[in-house]
Amino acid sequence: MPRETAIARAARTRKILAGLQAAYPDAHCELNFGNPLQLLIATILSAQCTDKRVNLVTAELFKRYRSAKDFANAELTEIEQNIRTTGFFRNKAKHIQACCRALLDKHNGEVPRTMAELIALDGVGRKTANVVLGNAFGINVGIVVDTHVTRLANRLALTSESDAVKIEQELMPLVPPAQWTLFSHWLIWHGRRRCGSRKPDCAGCEIAKLCPRIGLS
């Protein structure tokens, strides 16, 4: 595609936002949670795992462990077995337990509400922190960049980066801060429901006229 000016990209992004909002007015986090701790644990479990599988696991997990103290005091092997089907379960169990112990030691067992405090926890990077801040607390600090957001942001030519941090830095100026959390949901829902990695439904796409289809023949 011809090189797009910053002004043109910003204008196109505004139209993309409007199109996605109209297509997915009920878009939300598809991980099931009842409180910030549950969302934190579910997001850690979601690495290299589908939300559907995580929700199946946490339906029982959150009955067994109801607080940071419960996770902190549990036998590590027990946590491992309870999350086994999410994949990479040994590392995830270590992260969850270490994270919950830090919550007890430094935050009275509560999930903190700042990016700096969250990313200091075991197993928590910017993506997880953004998920928790945006969905548990309604705080827009950044944009969640997962595989769907990475793929669609590149396909839509909103970025040409592959690194999640760089993608986030390029997307944030294009999207109003109040929509940062929703923008991730819109792209994720669009990626799951319309714009698949191998066979995107371009004919039925609500924003097809705004998409340069980068990477597609």
Active site residues: 127, 146
DSSP string, 179-201: GHHHHHHHHHHHHHHT--SSS--
In this structure, what are the phi and psi dihedrals at residue 164, rounded to the nearest 5 degrees? -60, -40
Distances from the Cα of 181 to the Cαs of 59, 106, 132, in angstroms?
Answer: 24, 27, 10
Q: Is the dihedral of CA 187, 49, 181, 7 positive or negative?
A: negative
**Residue 101: is it exposed, middle or buried by C-beta count within 10 angstroms (0-12/13-18/19+)?**
middle
Residue 17 near residue 186 (C-beta atoms within 8 A): yes
DSSP state of 179: G
Residue 156 near residue 214 (C-beta atoms within 8 A): yes
**Residue 149: is it exposed, middle or buried by C-beta count within 10 angstroms (0-12/13-18/19+)?**
buried
Residue 77 Cα to chain centre, angstroms: 27
